[in-house]
């Protein structure tokens, strides 16, 4: 066991709250989409296909990303080689969902009836593409430097602070893009509010989703920006890449 600072228990408590807000985010998201927004569809139902977009993006870009960047500090007594592998796998899974979410958004525009909807017209789409691009560069750069055995230890030490801060900034961009996307969706789809001036179940569950997502993001940022909560190496650990060179090389 590693002796930790006096406020590590606070980090653990926030990490637990993070999971509760994630659960609230998922429950409200699925109730909103499947109980009040018609569910999901494919290209023959472009309006319903678009409902896949907020699901994939909120799970892949925000939830998986948040879990990946807090796993080191959240489960600090697990060996780093395991949390490092989990960090990489979660981010790769997130990129898969993000790609699928982007495809469904494009499909819902391209196959819209009676005529296609132009793509990449809103600020939400611009910010989203920027975030996805930076996320992808961060992921593949991180794999190349920290997971594979080719980068020197000196390079890893020099790039680690950049990797950390850029990861936090990308998460902030992901949250901002998600909030913009939700606001845009609410303005277009919540007719009970925009057309009738009523507070309906769709508005309630949509707002609950956005609220839980905001609280989740606050928990993630609270954990990763506090330098006192950086994970300390376990006594048995050595700094090695996930994939090691052959000893005979």
Any residues with CB less than 8 A from the CB of 113 and at least 6 apart, and which?
46
Question: By residue range, what is the domain housing residue 75?
Answer: 6-247
Q: Could you tell me if residue 39 is inside a domain? A: yes
Q: How far is CA 40 from CA 34, 183, 212, in A?
A: 7, 20, 22
CATH number at residue 238: 1.20.120.1770
- Taking only the tens of pLDDT, the chain with its 249 residues reads 555 666 788 999 999 999 999 999 999 999 999 999 999 999 999 999 999 999 999 999 999 999 999 999 999 889 988 999 999 999 999 999 999 999 999 999 999 988 999 999 999 999 999 999 999 999 999 999 999 989 999 999 999 999 999 999 999 999 999 999 999 998 888 888 877 888 999 999 999 999 999 999 999 999 999 988 888 888 777 655 566 544 333
Confidence at residue 241, expressed as pLDDT on a 0 to 100 scale:
57
Confidence at residue 247, expressed as pLDDT on a 0 to 100 scale:
38
Q: Could you tell me if residue 186 is inside a domain? A: yes
Q: Could you tell me if residue 143 is inside a domain? A: yes
Confidence at residue 249, expressed as pLDDT on a 0 to 100 scale:
33
Classify residue 96 by its DSSP letter: H
Residue spans of beta strands (DSSP E) within the chain:
none
Q: Could you tell me if residue 226 is inside a domain? A: yes
Q: Could you tell me if residue 1 is inside a domain? A: no
Q: Could you tell me if residue 189 is inside a domain? A: yes
Q: Could you tell me if residue 122 is inside a domain? A: yes
Confidence at residue 169, expressed as pLDDT on a 0 to 100 scale:
98
Confidence at residue 2, expressed as pLDDT on a 0 to 100 scale:
54
Structural domain total, the chain: 1
């Amino acid at each position: 066991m590693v002796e930790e600072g006096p406020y590590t228990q606070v980090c653990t408590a926030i990490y637990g709250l993070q999971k509760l807000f994630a659960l609230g985010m998922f429950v409200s998201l699925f109730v909103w989409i499947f109980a009040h927004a018609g569910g999901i569809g494919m290209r023959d139902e472009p309006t319903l296909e678009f409902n896949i977009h907020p699901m994939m993006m909120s799970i892949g870009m925000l939830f998986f990303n948040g879990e990946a960047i807090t796993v080191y500090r959240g489960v600090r007594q697990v060996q780093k080689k395991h949390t490092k592998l989990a960090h990489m796998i979660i981010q790769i899974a997130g990129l898969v969902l993000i790609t699928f979410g982007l495809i469904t958004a494009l499909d819902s525009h391209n196959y819209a009836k009676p005529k296609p909807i132009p793509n990449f017209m809103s600020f939400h789409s611009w910010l989203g593409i920027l975030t996805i691009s930076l996320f992808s560069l961060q992921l593949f750069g991180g794999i190349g430097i920290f997971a594979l055995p080719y980068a020197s230890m000196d390079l890893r030490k020099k790039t680690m602070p950049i990797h950390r801060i850029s990861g936090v900034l990308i998460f902030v961009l992901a949250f901002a893009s998600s909030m913009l996307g939700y606001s845009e969706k609410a303005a277009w789809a919540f007719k009970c509010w925009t057309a009738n001036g009523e507070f309906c179940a769709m508005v309630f569950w949509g707002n609950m989703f956005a609220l839980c997502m905001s609280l989740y993001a606050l928990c993630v940022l609270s954990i990763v920006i506090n330098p006192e909560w950086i994970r300390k190496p376990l006594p048995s650990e050595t700094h090695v890449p996930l994939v090691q060179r052959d000893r005979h090389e």
